[in-house]
Structure 1
Amino acid sequence: MKLDILVFGAHPDDAELGAGATIAKEVANGKKVGIVDLTRGELGTRGSAEIRDREAVASAKILGVSVRENLGFADGFFVNDKEHQLKVVEMIRKYRPDTVLCNAIEDRHIDHAKGSKLVSDACFLSGLMKIETKLEGEGQDAWRPKVVYHYIQWKDLKPDFIVDVSNFMEVKTRAIMAYSSQFYDAKSKEPETPISSKNFTDSVLYRAQDLGRLVGVEYGEGFTTERYIAVKDLGSLI
């Protein structure tokens, strides 16, 4: 299956928090979108890897993505080395996306920046013909995505561009709340975490509102890029 967009996240729920509304919008526009989680989030204070597996499946259905996979890297301890890069290359060559979205380049959680650099490096390596990979015993052709964009997570990074997601925040919110073990629940007896408070879930909405305000729309999601963005003409801007 060739995908238009492949979204990577260090943990289940990263993709939803950083780019959930953009994913939903692209799916609604007829694009084929997939998600690859690098880890199962097994070190998370709340829930378990098994619970998060189920939540990720439920969230993927809400977003309408074509596929979701988990590479099973060690939460908190994966590194950007050859072994991990080749596993990511296999996914890129398997799905041949034109666009890759991945973690924030800088963030509170150490896995986010690590995951960001790992995926970015793998996107480059995936285009090198002399790097050989196999999937299910079959050799894979080289493939390099046209663009790599990084969504924004905990830290309030300055975006290079903002996507108008005004009609898709409701879908994003439902996809996030599919992770009921992780986010605000007044009845939960689990320990508090930085993302389990009502303030955090509220912040997802007001960040989108603020980014939307900056570009004259109701809601927005911000992204950073490693290279210049080109437009066909001035009319291409909104």
Structure 2
Amino acid sequence: MQKVDILAIGAHPDDVELGCGGTIAKMIAAGKTVAIVDLTRGELGTRGTDLTRAEEAAKASEILKVSARENLEMKDGFLQNSEEYQLKIVKMIRKYQPTIVFSNAIDDRHPDHAKAHKLVSDACFLAGLPKIETVLDGQPQTAWRPKQIFSYIQWKNITPDFVVDISGFIDKKIEACLAYKTQFYDPGSKEPMTPIATKDFLESLTYRAQDLGRLSGVEFAEGFTTEKLLAFKNFDGIVL
């Protein structure tokens, strides 16, 4: 067991960096611990290979300074909310015992993203049931349920329930994303063009964060949706 404050889960290597890389960088700078779990190897990606994605994910992890990163090697493009896949995530939740889980967007262009959101949400609930027994590395695990599940926003412009001010961390987010050099804009690349490999998509990482910042009164922000109503103990930390 390696307890962390936040467990960020993504269907594919690069989902987490794109969706909440700035928030992760900010939380780690503030002394919080973060681990990342990728559900698939991204083996169906048009550009690069599963091997290059693994190398790029390791580089991005170094940039963000996350405590750990794992890949569950589920089937890219064919995620399903099955008992097998649920239990794989349950084991990760019980291993890292996070207070908060970040998950894929509730709806998105790639079908794996919404499927991953539901899969993670269900696994977070199941992880708290003591009668579901799991064993990791030969040791029985203790039931654990995260306090909150927050879903980051990806391709679609989903209205967030709240935003995190990432002013001062947008450059770190972009750096972590560009660690995936096979996936994003490179004018010298001979790989096939994809929607996320365009110059416009790369620029959108900044202007979308800037627009959420404009709406919330900060320079840059990342948006999240939440499954349950949030309660504030006080107004400390809110940008007024």
TM-score, L = length of structure 1: 0.99
State the 1:232 CA deviation. 1.1
- Report the equivalent of 1:231: 232
* In structure 2, C-alpha distance between the alignment counterparts of 1:178 and 1:115, rounded to whole Å: 23
State the 1:137 CA deviation. 1.2
Task: Indicate how the Cα distance of structure 1 residues 85 and 160 shifts in structure 2: closer, same or farther if over 3 A, else same.
Answer: same
Aligned residues: 238
User: Which residues in structure 2 correspond to 1:11-22 (within 5 Å)?
Assistant: 11-22=12-23
- Report the equivalent of 2:70: 69
* In structure 1, C-alpha distance between the alignment counterparts of 2:45 and 2:237, rounded to whole Å: 42
User: Which residues in structure 2 correspond to 1:1-238 (within 5 Å)?
Assistant: 1-235=2-236, 237-238=238-239
* In structure 1, C-alpha distance between the alignment counterparts of 2:235 and 2:6, rounded to whole Å: 25
Deviation readout 1:126-160 (Å, 9 max, x if unpaired): 00000000001110000000000000000000000
| SS of residue in 1 equivalent to 2:87 | helix
| SS of residue in 1 equivalent to 2:197 | coil
Amino acid at match of 2:200: N
Amino acid at match of 1:35: I
Show structure 2 runs of 5+ residues with no match.
none
Deviation readout 1:87-127 (Å, 9 max, x if unpaired): 00000000000000010000000000000000010000000
Task: Indicate how the Cα distance of structure 1 residues 217 and 43 shifts in structure 2: closer, same or farther if over 3 A, else same.
Answer: same
Amino acid at match of 1:213: R
Amino acid at match of 2:162: F
* In structure 2, C-alpha distance between the alignment counterparts of 1:30 and 1:44, rounded to whole Å: 34
Same amino acid, percent of matched pairs:
61
Amino acid at match of 1:145: P
* In structure 2, C-alpha distance between the alignment counterparts of 1:195 and 1:233, rounded to whole Å: 40
State the 1:235 CA deviation. 4.9
Show structure 1 runs of 5+ residues with no match.
none
* In structure 2, C-alpha distance between the alignment counterparts of 1:232 and 1:83, rounded to whole Å: 38
| SS of residue in 1 equivalent to 2:231 | coil
